Amino acid sequence: MDTLARPAKAKISSGADTVKKSTCRMCHGGCSTLVHIRDKKIVKIVGDPDGPLNHGRLCPMGSASMQLVHSPERLTHPLIRAGERGEGKWRRASWDEAYDFLCERIRNIWAEHGKEAITIGTGTGRHHMQWVPRFANMMGTPNSGNPGRAQCLFPRLNTMNLTFGGLPWCDYGGERPPGVILFWGHNPLASSPDGEVGFQVLDALESKPKIIVVDPRKTWLAKQADVFLQLRPGSDDALALAMLNVIIEERTYDKEFVERWTYGFDRLAERVKPCTPEWAAPITWVPAEKIRAAARLWAASGPGAMEWGVSIEHALNTTQTIRAISMLPVLNGSIDVPGGWCFGMLPLAPFPYLPEALPDEMKKKCLGADRFKVLSGAGSPLPSAHMPTVFKSMRSGDPYWTKGFLIFANNALSTYAGSRDVYEALGKLDLLMVADLFMTPTAELADIVLPAAAWPELDEVVGMPYFSEDVVLAQQRCEQVGECKQDEVIMTELARRLGLPHCEDEPEDIYDAMLAPLGMTFKELAANGPVRIPKQYKKYEAKGFKTPTGKIELYSTRLEALGYDPLPYYEEPPESPLATPELAKQFPYVLTTGARIPVFYNSEYRQLPQLRRGRREPQVEIHPETAKQHGIKRGDWVVISTPNGSIRQRASLTEDMHPGVIGCQHGWWFPEREGWEHGIWESNANILTSHSGPYDPAMGSYQLRALLCRIEVEKPV
């Protein structure tokens, strides 16, 4: 069962240990912990029974936190390259020498190419996520980003800001449980994303809500579902439009809410009129009667909470797919009501990103701002560079050269699409810095590697869920491992040595300022534990929605002003059985990648024995009938190929996968392998992808799923 273990609640032990309350960040996290310290060393980490999101429980990753902190593979001191890139020759450096090395290289790039020639990069949203754009603004560069800014959460965040004026989350701890939960391209029991942890979902299921699941794979949740829609990857927009069609045509929507609190309903109704379930069925592979059943159940069983995931951001028509799906909770009146889809309380003072530190002329130079306005320009509350455009500028100097890349916690060769193009781009840099926990293939190519602190080694304020902040938690520094420093401290010290503006603030000063509306300091939060903010509902009745019309904009005036279609629409993926039938003869299956492995977080933790025992090798999921056609048996090494490249993974045969879909695991490399590559070219799903476009016109997203592929048994060498 791909769900979370449910251990008994932890008990606080007595004795000589000092116990600190903290927050697990082995993933995006939000699970409260009790960290036991003896002689300045962590001796035990358990779930905090008083934790508002996990109530004492930890997932397999959280339970392996001790192995992470004390892993013999950890980076523990700065390293400067002493040979050619990838040669594996390093010399140990002091922090003073490391900072001097970086400052000299940065100033040289500034002098020759300008401040825009340096990009600040990061990985998944951990403690330092907000600090990266702050540091970029201090550095005077418009270019910061990560693999997910156009492909994970931020397309939902930016699009929902334009449509709703904020990002809603499921109300699991409110006055009543959801009547129906819609899981769309998302398995929170395996991913626990962004503070909406899987334990909350498990608890919500105990109230026996109706369940609808949209997924190409029959997950454990799908097996519990009242309606399971096993769709073709990349056809989510067609399915959402068809469900909207049913609800509108059958007039089962919440008429009072729609009439009073939405803008453009009549134009939406006209747009979806031809999008019947019969129209959608051959596109989505979902029978028309099942689409109707799902739409009717959703409309009749509210309040509805919707769990949606990253998969909808891995296809081309990202912005309009998000808009179409987001309108389902609107039509059944589930917005900001108990058990529905609710806006957060947002009790913290805004994080100081320092956009005022970046000159307006420099903002216009943000790579992607001229094309992808919801990602990089006027449509974004926090503009990000378009990373494929950044890598192009590294390779070719178009539209200008990127010569420095400062990466905080990201294995770029594994996590960006088009891994070979990324490798070529990194090789042309004058400066590549990587701050990380372990030596990764990307770090092996760096000029300088800095040892980053793990989550029990740092202080930070955590507001969860992201951009909602119904719960405010603290991470606490509980141990000092080697010379490791937390990323925020590295950025602050580097800013001071470069003489950047606003560098006088200590991280704790910023935490205190964020907590000021709650009337507490960081030390008080850390000492007393998490704060849950009392929920208020229908907040829009006081001031409306934070959009130009004050309503939820089914017809988006902001998108229209930016030059984009104001209504959602269907667009077939550029590479698919329908769009490229000739290519589909060579590559007859639809590839999906990115399903979460419960013992790993993207490309992380393969060094930890406790977790690696749970998944020693990469697996590709294949329906048994599909495997039989190709002579594939369970456990065979299989070659998966797309027009972009080929990789190998072990065959896992399961009737849970659609026969026309191949489910490939992502994030794979092998820390135990010799050489700088550590097997990065062997099983890495991003060998199969490309970031060369086409792109979503607003967000710059590109295809990571719904690609065409073929499979075959690996031939003996």
User: Omega before 694 cis (within 30°)?
Assistant: yes
- Average per-residue pLDDT for the chain: 94
Whether 7 is in a domain gets the answer no
- 652: which residues sit within 8 A by CB, 6+ positions away? 619, 620, 621, 622, 634
Whether 474 is in a domain gets the answer no
CB 164 within 8 A of CB 526: no
Whether 534 is in a domain gets the answer no
**Lowest mean pLDDT segment, chosen from 186-190, 462-466, 482-486:** 186-190
Tokens of 253: 């929507």
> Are 400 and 500 within one domain?
yes
Share of the chain above pLDDT 90, in %: 90
Tokens of 371: 């094309």
**Lowest mean pLDDT segment, chosen from 250-254, 307-311, 490-494:** 307-311
Whether 585 is in a domain gets the answer yes
Render pLDDT for 135-172 as a digit per residue (tens, 0 to 9). 999 999 999 999 888 898 899 999 999 999 999 999 99
Whether 286 is in a domain gets the answer yes
Q: Is the pLDDT of residue 11 over 70?
A: no
> Are 338 and 243 within one domain?
yes
Whether 567 is in a domain gets the answer no
- To the question of pTM greater than 0.85 for the whole model, the response is yes
> Are 513 and 639 within one domain?
no
Q: Identify the domain containing residue 425 by its residue range.
A: 79-153+348-458+484-522
Domain of residue 400, CATH code: 3.40.50.740
> Are 695 and 661 within one domain?
yes
> Are 174 and 212 within one domain?
yes
> Are 202 and 252 within one domain?
yes
What DSSP line would sit under 129-147, residue for residue?
A: TTHHHHHHHHHT-S-EE-T
> Are 133 and 186 within one domain?
no
Among 315, 342, 369, where does a domain finish?
342
Nearest CA to 168 among 546, 571, 430, 693?
A: 546
> Are 141 and 235 within one domain?
no
Average pLDDT score over residue span 22-41: 94
- Distance separating alpha carbons of residues 212 and 89, to the nearest angstrom: 54
> Are 189 and 308 within one domain?
yes
Whether 476 is in a domain gets the answer no
Render pLDDT for 652-688 as a digit per residue (tens, 0 to 9). 999 999 999 999 999 999 999 999 999 999 999 999 9
> Are 195 and 126 within one domain?
no
Total domains, the chain: 3
- Distance separating alpha carbons of residues 333 and 349, to the nearest angstrom: 30
Whether 531 is in a domain gets the answer no
- Distance separating alpha carbons of residues 465 and 197, to the nearest angstrom: 9
> Are 353 and 314 within one domain?
no
Domain of residue 598, CATH code: 2.40.40.20
Q: For every residue of 16-74, which 3-state class applies, written as one string?
A: CCEEEEEEECCCCCCEEEEEEEECCEEEEEEECCCCCCCCCCCCHHHHCHHHHHCCCCC
Chain centroid to Cα 671, Å, comes to: 23
> Are 149 and 205 within one domain?
no
Among 317, 342, 367, where does a domain finish?
342
Q: Is the pLDDT of residue 196 over 80?
A: no
- Distance separating alpha carbons of residues 403 and 96, to the nearest angstrom: 23
Q: What pLDDT score was predicted for residue 8?
A: 35
41: pLDDT confidence band, cut at 50, 70 and 90? very high
Share of the chain above pLDDT 70, in %: 98
Render pLDDT for 74-104 as a digit per residue (tens, 0 to 9). 999 999 999 999 899 999 999 999 999 999 9
15: pLDDT confidence band, cut at 50, 70 and 90? low
Among 307, 342, 377, where does a domain finish?
342
Average pLDDT score over residue span 610-614: 95
- Distance separating alpha carbons of residues 317 and 699, to the nearest angstrom: 9
- Distance separating alpha carbons of residues 36 and 38, to the nearest angstrom: 7
